[in-house]
Amino acid sequence: MLVLVTYDVNVQTPEGRKRLRLVAKTCKNMCQRVQKSVFECLVDPAEWVILKNKLEGTIDPEIDSLRFYYLGKNWKRRVDHMGAKEPYDPEGPLLV
Amino acid sequence: MLVLVTYDVNVQTPEGRKRLRLVAKTCKNMCQRVQKSVFECLVDPAEWVILKNKLEGTIDPEIDSLRFYYLGKNWKRRVDHMGAKEPYDPEGPLLV
């Protein structure tokens, strides 16, 4: 299934900038970054529980925001893109 | 139906900062801002065509990115939130 993760982290403090890096790092392990604070995560339910718990531990819930959008298995018909950074296919060949 | 709009606009130039404001302004008319560059748009198909065309005209496709995620009618079960800015219900009472 595809889960979209979007976030706003308050970066007015050094701690905030550290949280921002940690959120991105946590996502990078299992997801594809498609915009600065937007990641697409192709995960199974068990992987998602692990990732979600990790993410919960990275933010300050008083001032940071994490939003998750569950796009399901048929996610390809739910995603559209305009502009820079050509869309990629998380299930496509890994270009190295 | 709910359409999620996320965007990355290159703000290294004054023109870029102007485009960023225009994208946000275009979204604000029909959508709810949930994060800095994330809007949730409760629109019917005809309204979406209008909004999408307007948005296409606001960005520089070489350096800016717009992504649209179609969450359909049963969008409530597809959205999850953690942290600041309590979730709102675009179909709920407008608090003024």
Contacts of A63 in chain B (CB under 8 A): 83-84
| Confidence at B61, pLDDT banded by 50, 70, 90 | very high
Looking at residue B30, what DSSP letter applies? T
Q: What are phi and psi of A3, to 5 degrees?
A: -115, 130
Dihedral sign of CA atoms B89, A61, B81, A7 in order: positive
Predicted pLDDT at A9 = 94
Residue A20 CB-density burial (10 A; 0-12 exposed, 13-18 middle, 19+ buried): buried
pLDDT in tens, A33-90: 999 999 999 999 999 999 999 999 999 999 999 999 999 999 999 999 999 875 555 5
pLDDT band at A96 (very low <50, low <70, confident <90, very high): very low
For the domain spanning B2-72, the CATH number is 3.30.70.240
Whether B82 sits inside 8 A of A56 (CB atoms) is: yes
> pTM here?
0.89
Q: Give DSSP secondary structure letters for A38-88.
A: EEEEE--HHHHHHHHHHHHTTS-TTT-EEEEEEEES-GGGGEEEEESS---
The residue ranges of every structural domain in chain B are: 2-72
Mean pLDDT of all residues in B18-26: 96
What's the first-to-final CA gap in chain B, in angstroms?
24
Q: Look at residue B92 in the predicted model and tell me its pLDDT.
A: 59
What SS3 class is residue A5? strand
Length of chain B: 96
In angstroms and rounded to an integer, the radius of gyration of the C-alpha atoms of chain B is 14
Using CA of residue B32, residue B41, residue B3, residue B80, what is the dihedral sign?
positive
CB atoms within 10 A of CB A38: 26
**Chain A interface mutation, best of B9, B26, B82, B85, highest count of A Cβ atoms under 10 Å:** B82
Q: pLDDT band at residue B91, thresholds of 50, 70 and 90?
A: low
Confidence label for B29 from pLDDT (cuts 50, 70 and 90): confident
Place B85 in a pLDDT band, splitting at 50, 70 and 90: confident
**B90 min Cα distance to partner chain A (Å):** 15
Q: Is residue B96's pLDDT more than 80?
A: no
Collapsing DSSP to helix, strand or coil, B23 comes out as: helix
CB contact under 8 A, A36 and B62: no
**Whether ipTM exceeds 0.90:** no
